[in-house]
Structure 1
């Protein structure tokens, strides 16, 4: 029996031919169904708009492809955005949240062909370009159609859900993409708006993971609220109609979710687009964008973060785990990189380095005159203080307490570059100055964050 990786490879070789057959809406690797019940057998699944026996012989799906078992499942995918005439009454989650977080209603301020739209704010993220917090949702929730522009304003809750323009506006489109893998958008957050790195009804976002077959997942969306499901398909390629001006788009490497019917009949519905899909430990695995009956399809979160150039905003429960000595999750290399990057971006903003940077610059200016003993830069802060070397050693001591977040590979020696006897070039001076500024900012800000009581 082929492995999952082998099944994915076979699927990728034949999926374009399969997608070209009449009525086929998608292809993935997932659990085979027999009599409407899921089995434990993994197969190449061909999704069709309608199952029927009245199919010409040459268009029928073979029972096996290159030794891989196949299955045919009935799924017609629709975007899970809600749209109503402008004068409709409110429905679903109409809460006006004082603190922006994942799992809540949002939508565009603009009216499109006399319709207003609603979706879900999936999670709070950090813009890698500016280090500012932002909101994550779908392209088709925020941008909707081909007439969108950067700067289009967003409202929470959506206008369908009693949101008022401009009173309930919270930000504007920064970036949006509808690519071969991602249906996503990043929304700025206006100054003064409170945010939380949580998903309503689920809790802290703890990072990201790749989805795996059989993984238990949850989501919180504007329409169906908190729902439970299972990853029942991976490497999915699906055709979805985005409507006038955009047409049918094919998205590859998607994640299929089946509803856990012990908790809920369906996993998502119209208005849930933009929700993040989270595993049982609070790690995001996907961004929900479409569905077919009880089934849902999502972008893999790694592709979303990469294409939109953002990082997940991670809740303070991670900090609490560190303080409580729980560090097993740091063995996850990808997670360590993410949390290290997140700490830097979020905490650097809090430190004013003007006085310290000036004193460090003065030291380098003296060193550029030639070799010799390092001058004493004097106090580094108001009211006096230790010399530069002593201060940097103190910073190194702070860094050593951060463990997995700022490991030795991220902590080059701060003092050795100052004690060498070779004169520094202009380029070396600039590079070393930048490293010093970065390390001081990271250390002081991270130490303050670790000392803060958990939320």
Structure 2
């Protein structure tokens, strides 16, 4: 199993970018092939699509091959993957699994408590605590979040300490020089009657590992080192394919699922035309909705394995907790 998984990872590593360039594909990963509605024991390269189409409706270049380097492929419909964000009571002390958010967003979920240089912090997503990069260190974090009637400063529970910047693609260049040159050349084109128009180049971005941020509680007594409906976190573990998982989130509460894919590279929509590509992710089935972003994901022994941050009606996307720990320099 380990050797086979290593081999398929290598093949996926060589082909994932060309697969993601195909229309309709939003993620690639490794999972058990599903045939006739039943999960088999065969590992496959899984391509997640917004909608399953008949072969007649797909161009040849956008068709997913039946196999890649002799390894089978599978196509699953997940819909468009989007950052999960959106309604709950004020909790003091606040455990993981409850509404929280930067004072300028709607609401997300308080994941769990971690330590940075020995100091207690709240862990959640960048797009929950840091407003998708638009926040300033020291900004107010509310519990409950603004969408759940949290107000500043009455419900301020913490201040933003640190966030991992999300690298976005699909955003038109804001460079004034590039935009100015494009405007001048378009003016010349008007004079000569040309219909061709130039646009500033859309920015490309590096791939991301995590959507994560931490905030320091104003008072350590205002937070509780456990997760609503789950209990205390019992250390951490590496997520594995087929692992049973659970989470407690602001919108859907306590839900369970299974790691269906590992080594996932996925394009996530953040609104306003912003898209971010994440690699080395985990994919589970439908176990979350908007507002569950930031939820801690645990195995059946209450070990922390990931940080939920995105999904669709059919899927849930999770950061590997080891990547969260290393990028933020935090621990349990």
Fold agreement, TM-score > 0.5: yes
Q: Deviations over 1:361-413 (max 9, x none)?
A: xxxxxxxxxxxxxxxxxxxxxxxxxxxxxxxxxxxxxxxxxxxxxxxxxxxxx
Aligned to 2:244: 216
Q: Match of 1:155?
A: 142
Answer whether contact 2:83 2:268 (CA < 8 A) is retained.
yes
Asked if residue 267 in structure 1 is aligned to residue 287 in structure 2, the reply is yes
Q: State the match for 2:195 in structure 1.
A: none
Structure 1 residue aligned with 2:102: 108
Secondary structure in 2 aligned to 1:204? coil
- Measured after TM superposition, the shift of residue 162 of structure 1 is 2.5
* Structure 1 outlier segments of 4+, above 4 Å: none
TM-score (ref. length: structure 1): 0.61
Match for residue 106 of structure 2 among 117, 140, 165: 117
Q: How far does residue 36 in structure 1 lie from its aligned partner after superposition? A: 4.0
Return the TM-score normalized by structure 2. Answer: 0.83
Q: How does 1:365-384 map to 2 (within 5 A)?
A: none
> Structure 1 residue 214: deviation in Å?
0.9
8 A Cα contact 2:140 2:152, kept in partner: no
Q: Distance in 2 between matches of 1:293 and 1:3?
A: 31
Offset at residue 34 of structure 1 (A)? 2.6
Instruction: Tell me how far apart the structure 1 counterparts of residues 64 and 298 of structure 2 sit (CA, whole Å).
Output: 33
1:97 maps to 91
Alignment-derived partner of residue 127 in structure 2: 140
Deviation, structure 1 residue 220: 0.2
- Map 1:286-305 → 2, pairs under 5 A: 286-305=306-325
Deviations 1:259-294 (A, max 9, x none): xxxxxxx30000000001000001011100011213
CA distance in 1, matches of 2:32, 2:39: 6
Q: Where in structure 2 are the equivalents of 1:224-263 lying within 5 Å?
A: 224-244=252-272, 247-258=274-285
Counterpart in the other structure of 1:200? 228
Give 1 or 2 for the bigger CA radius of gyration: 1
Matched, 1:182 2:232: no
Residues 228-260 of structure 1: CA distance to partner in whole angstroms, max 9, x if unpaired? Answer: 00011000000011223x8111100000112xx
Give 1:59's match in structure 2, choosing from 53, 62, 76. 62
Per-residue CA distance 1:390-443 (angstroms, 9 max, x = gap): xxxxxxxxxxxxxxxxxxxxxxxxxxxxxxxxxxxxxxxxxxxxxxxxxxxxxx
Corresponding residue for residue 18 of structure 2: 17
- The answer to whether the 8 A contact 2:120-2:220 is kept is no
Contact 1:268 1:294 in 2 (8 A): no
Q: Residues of 2 paired with 1:8 and 1:69: CA distance?
A: 13
Which has the larger displacement, 175-184 or 280-289?
A: 175-184
**Conserved in 1, the CA contact under 8 Å of 2:77 and 2:314?**
no
Q: State the SS of the aligned residue for 1:203.
A: coil
Deviations 1:118-139 (A, max 9, x none): 10000011013xx110100001
Q: What is the aligned residue count?
A: 287
Partners of 1:230 and 1:257 within 8 A in 2: yes
Q: Which has the higher contact order (CA 8 A, sep 6+)?
A: 2
Is the 1:46–1:72 contact (alpha carbons within 8 Å) kept by the matching residues of 2? yes
Q: Distance in 1 between matches of 2:74 and 2:301?
A: 31
**8 Å Cα contact 2:107/2:128 also seen in 1:** yes
For 1:160 and 1:20, the matched residues in 2 are separated by 36
Corresponding residue for 1:437?
Answer: none
Within the candidate set 82, 89, 108, 1:78 is matched to: 82
Give the CA RMSD over aligned residues.
1.6
Structure 1: runs of 5+ lacking an equivalent? 83-90, 111-115, 259-265, 313-455
Distance 2:154 2:58 in 1: 55
Deviation at 1:172? 1.2
- d(CA) in 1 for partners of 2:41, 2:24: 26
1:284 and 2:304 correspond? yes
Greater strand proportion: 2
